[in-house]
Amino acid sequence: MSSSPRRLRSLVTLAVGLGVLATGCNASATKEPAADAPGRSFVLITPNPVGTNPFLKLSVQGIEAAGIEQGGSTKVLQSNDPTTITQNVTAATQQKPDVIVAVGFQFNDAFAQAAERNPRQQFVLVDSCTTKLYRNVTCAVFREHEGIFLAGAEAGLLTKSNKVGAVVALDTPQFHRFSDPFGEGAKKVNPEITFTDLFVGGQNPFADPARAKEQANALTAKGVDVVMGAAAAGNPGIFDAAKGGKFTAWGVDTNQCPSAPGVVVDNVVKRTDVVIRNTIDGVLKGKMGLTRSFGLAEDGVALTGLLGDVANSKCLIAKSPSVITKVQELRQQIVTGTLKIDDPAAK
């Protein structure tokens, strides 16, 4: 009986010893390269494994581009869940890089805590923002609604039934940015339009392709022939339904046309690479502790059809140059400020 507390105590000592050793190693590992190469260092933390997630892949490209631009080293930490997110944020602050970048609302709390504890560490949060503002947290958010509006305009010009629809992951103000402006854009170019939006919901709103497909089918049953797809990993299901030939679809985040040739008209892309590069540059030049928003004017949001390489994009919009010209004009009006797009998330 007397041996067990003693054994426990020795175990604890061992664990503490190992812990000290480990942190000691960590500290030396981060300091040494800094001593050798006095360049800058940047860390990117992702909320999910990067894998083929196109949005996160663009983020990695962004941090790498920033590393090259600023002449520094970069590191990517991938998270799986809230626990690994917190662990990664802690690990990143221990390494004391020049800027820690993270993508997604999952970091709101973790960054708020880390920013308070490490007042001299600079943080950049992309695609979201902490609820309270901190002097060392710079937020970069997208004005997706501007791009969605343009996609809606394309849909309004291309629809034959004058019925436009959207399948979106969740019925929340943030996600209405992907539905409401689509209808408004269509109505802007075609007053006859009626607009219907459906939300995937369920137990797995961001990755339920079967449900997303059924909802796209429900829209076509109403006569809708152009559909905005903003169901994250459910989008392949929407494109699958489009292969039935009853409607064409729009994708988000990156160019999704090659994944389903012949059914995707265009995409509203969020250029996380541009945003991360610009924001890091801004922070290093002293523009920190504020919220920067990236829309059409800043090239943070764009349509595949309006980018230079549309001919090789495998998007259907490449076949409608007259539509591209019209949408290009609308884009110009938004960039110059003559046309204002309502933000559903700000309502």
Partner 1 sequence: MPIDAELLASALRALTPILLAALGGALCQRAGVFNISLEGMMLVGCFSAVTGSWFTGSAWLGVLVAVAATTAFSLVLAVGSVSLKADAIVLGVAMNLLAVGLTAFLLRTVFGVQGAFSDPELKGLGAVGLPGLDDVPYVGDVLGGQSPLVYLSWVAVAVAAVFLSRHAWGLRLRGVGERPDAALSLGVSVTKYQYAAVLASGTLCGLAGAQLALGNVTLFSENMTSGRGWIAVVAVMLGRAAPVGVLLAALLFGIVEALGFRLQGQGLPQQAADAAPYLVTLVALFLSTARRRARRASAPADEHAAPQPASLG
Q: Which among 264, 255, 270 is positioned nearest to 178, based on CA atoms?
A: 270
Residue 162 sits in the site that holds partner 1 (CB under 8 A)? no
* Interaction between residue 124 and partner 1 (CB under 8 A): no
The one among 222, 321, 329, 332 contacting partner 1 by CB under 8 A: 222
- Decide if residue 267 touches partner 1 (CB under 8 A): no
> Strand ranges (DSSP E) for 31-186?
40-46, 72-78, 99-103, 122-126, 137-142, 163-168
Interface with partner 1 includes 271 (CB under 8 A)? Answer: no
Closer residue to partner 1 (CB): 15 or 210? 210
In the block, which residue shows the tokens 């892309």? 269
d(CA 52, CA 49): 9
Q: Which range, of 114-122, 125-133, 207-215, 294-302, touches partner 1 by CB under 8 A?
A: 207-215
Q: Which of 297, 303, 299 has its CA nearest to residue 253?
A: 303
String marking each residue 302-331 x if it binds partner 1 according to CB under 8 A? ------------------------------
| Binding window for partner 1 (CB under 8 A); candidates: 155-163, 181-189, 213-221, 288-296 | 213-221
259 binds partner 1 (CB under 8 A): yes
Give yes or no for residue 106 binding partner 1 (CB under 8 A).
Answer: no
Q: Establish if 183 lies at the interface with partner 1 (CB under 8 A).
A: no
Is 203 a binding residue for partner 1 by CB under 8 A? The answer is yes
- Residue 1 vs 221, nearer CB to partner 1: 221
Is 229 near partner 1 (CB under 8 A)? no
How far is the CA of 124 from the CAs of 103, 211, 234, in angstroms? 9, 35, 29
Among residues 217, 289, 307, 335, the one that binds partner 1 under rule CB under 8 A: 217
Contact predicate 330/188, CB 8 Å: yes
Number of residues that bind partner 1 (CB under 8 A): 37
Segment near partner 1 (CB under 8 A); pick from 100-108, 121-129, 130-138, 209-217: 209-217
Longest pairwise C-alpha distance within the chain: 86
- CB of residue 75 to partner 1, shortest distance in Å: 19
Nearest distance in Å: CB 243, partner 1:
9
Q: Is 236 in the site for partner 1 (CB under 8 A)?
A: yes
Cβ–Cβ < 8 Å for 231, 257: no
Cα separation, 51 vs 233, whole angstroms: 13
What's the rounded Cα separation, in Å, for the pair 82 and 32? 31
Residue of 158, 67, 52, 60 lying closest to 102 (CA atoms): 60
With CB under 8 A as the contact rule, the residue among 98, 240, 299, 343 that binds partner 1 is 240
Q: Residue 205, by phi and psi: left (phi above 0), alpha (psi -120 to 50) or beta?
A: alpha
Would the CA dihedral through 321, 322, 323, 326 be positive or negative?
Answer: positive
Does residue number 300 form part of the binding site for partner 1 (CB under 8 A)? Answer: no
Q: Would you count residue 242 as binding partner 1 (CB under 8 A)? A: no
Q: Which is nearer to partner 1, 222 or 287 (CB)?
A: 222
Q: Is 17 or 49 the residue whose CB approaches partner 1 more closely?
A: 49
Q: What residues from 1 to 60 belong to the interface with partner 1 (CB under 8 A)?
A: 48-53
- Of 238, 256, 265, 246, nearest to 163 by C-alpha is 246
CA atoms within a 13 Å half-sphere pointing along the CA-CB vector of 74: 20
Using CB under 8 A, list all residues that contact partner 1: 48-53, 170-171, 196, 198-204, 207-211, 213-215, 217-222, 233, 236-237, 240, 259-261
